[in-house]
Amino acid sequence: MKAYKFTLYLYLIFGLFFLYDTVMKYQEGGDFKISLAFAVVAIFMFFFRKRHIKKIEENQKNNQ
């Protein structure tokens, strides 16, 4: 279960990195849409996986 929690925060780190990359590209006048899309997907995956892990832990507690 610890590996799930580790990868959970990797999504958040990548989301923040791509958000930073989006801001930098926007300020330079470059094409920032792909970086923005990756940031949104990564941050969405963080919250989705967090909710999923919480449900798994609750199911394990109820089954014991």
pLDDT in tens, 7-54: 889 999 999 999 999 999 999 999 999 999 999 999 999 999 999 989
- Give CA angle at 6 (16, 40), nearest 5°: 30
DSSP state of 31: -
- Residue 42 — φ and ψ, nearest 5°? -65, -45
What's the rounded mean pLDDT across residues 4-8? 83
Q: CA dihedral in degrees (51, 44, 11, 58; nearest 10)?
A: 0
Beta carbons of 45 and 4 less than 8 angstroms apart: no
Instruction: Report d(CA 3, CA 25) in Å as an integer.
Output: 33
Indicate the pTM of the whole model.
0.83
